[in-house]
Amino acid sequence: MKICRFNGGRLGVLHEGRVHDVSQLLERLPAQRYPLPQKDLLIEALPQLREALAQALPGAQHHAPEAVAFDAPVANPGKIIGAPINYQDHVAESKADAGIAHGRTITSIGDWGLFLKAGSALIGCGEPIVLRFPDRRNDHEVELGVVIGSECRQVARADAMAHVAGYTVALDMTVRGTEFQSFRKSIDTYAVLGPWMVTADEIDDPDQLDLWLSVNGQMRQQSNTRHMVYDVARLIEYASSFYTLQAGDVIMTGTPQGVGPVVPGDRIRAGVAQVGEFEIQVAPQYAGAATA
């Protein structure tokens, strides 16, 4: 099942190529009182909602995907986890390009560990990426996004995949520089997920998926998740050895070679086979600080 959020908080299911509006099922989520849990209630409840979602389809209003603005398929990830240098060919290009490494010695993901992207950086593909520092190098990184479905900590590799709710297409936008990754990759709009989440049962093998990214129609990145250094199960095992993972946590699994800069006005297309594809605009210019 392909589950999406659209038009400012509507809940949708992709069915026969159309976005079916099943927003009424959001009312089945448990009512909340402060303090709010650090997890995503919809993702956590999906196993219980599956049947009702399917039953709601025949009577649902539906829209062409082109006619809706997609929100991030996960509204409230407690964590967005990033996997650095997780494709061998990207390790090589990072060593060769001083504009990527910025003086750091490129070693391995086992040496570097993971990083976190701020929740405030999250957007769906229906809104533009806004370059905060257009005078610096701002790179695209297409990645397979893994959405955690249930709580786990120190999970064994053999049990890891049981904790996956689904997969989405992720863009780990990055301003290059000397600052730490979590700082540079957490700018507002620099974490894109979309267009929907496909549930794990529909993916044969997440470690055998083509992924690609083009800018203004020119192919920049083309690879397959089989080239990941740490595969999906290992990333879950690794992340959960440090963090408790919660429903709705997202792991951006790393990017293959071909990262490169975008500039205001560019159009990015990013896709993962069996998962989906989206187009997103880089805003023509940064509007400046809000006068709040």
Residue 36 Cβ vs Mn ion, minimum distance, rounded to whole Å: 28
Task: Specify the stretch interacting with Mn ion by CB under 5 A; choose among 45-53, 167-175, 187-195, 280-288.
Answer: 167-175
Angle at 194 between CA 188 and CA 198, to 5 degrees: 145
List the one residue out of 209, 246, 247, 252 whose CA is nearest residue 227: 209
Residue 67 Cβ vs Mn ion, minimum distance, rounded to whole Å: 31
Nearer to Mn ion (CB atom), residue 189 or residue 255: 255
Give the up-direction half-sphere exposure of residue 106: CA atoms within 13 A in the CB hemisphere.
Answer: 19
- Phi, psi torsion values for 256, nearest 5 degrees: -80, 180
How far is 156 from 174, CA to CA, in rounded Å? 31
Residue 68 Cβ vs Mn ion, minimum distance, rounded to whole Å: 27
CB atoms within 10 A of CB 91: 19
**Strand 210-215, strand 62-63: pairing:** unpaired
Binding Mn ion (rule: CB under 5 A), the pick from 168, 223, 255, 257 is: 255
Nearer to Mn ion (CB atom), residue 21 or residue 172: 172
How far is 100 from 161, CA to CA, in rounded Å? 32
Q: Which residues lie below 8 Å from residue 284, measured CB to CB, with a gap of 6+?
A: 264, 265
Nearer to Mn ion (CB atom), residue 21 or residue 141: 141
Instruction: Note whether 141 binds Mn ion by CB under 5 A.
Output: yes
Binding Mn ion (rule: CB under 5 A), the pick from 21, 44, 172, 231 is: 172
Q: Which residues lie below 8 Å from residue 50, measured CB to CB, with a gap of 6+?
A: 1
Nearer to Mn ion (CB atom), residue 150 or residue 224: 224
Nearer to Mn ion (CB atom), residue 141 or residue 266: 141
Nearer to Mn ion (CB atom), residue 70 or residue 115: 115
Window 92-131: contact mask with Mn ion (x via CB under 5 A): ----------------------------------------
Residue 91 Cβ vs Mn ion, minimum distance, rounded to whole Å: 12
Q: Are 192 and 124 in contact (CB under 8 A)?
A: yes
Residue 257 Cβ vs Mn ion, minimum distance, rounded to whole Å: 12
Task: Specify the stretch interacting with Mn ion by CB under 5 A; choose among 24-32, 135-143, 144-152, 209-217.
Answer: 135-143
Task: Specify the stretch interacting with Mn ion by CB under 5 A; choose among 87-95, 205-213, 247-255, 283-291.
Answer: 247-255
Q: How far is CA 211 from CA 80, 193, 221, 274, in A?
A: 20, 14, 8, 10
Residue 2 Cβ vs Mn ion, minimum distance, rounded to whole Å: 24
Instruction: Note whether 139 binds Mn ion by CB under 5 A.
Output: no
Q: Which residue has the tokens 């397959």?
A: 224
Question: Contact positions toward Mn ion, by CB under 5 A?
Answer: 141, 172, 255
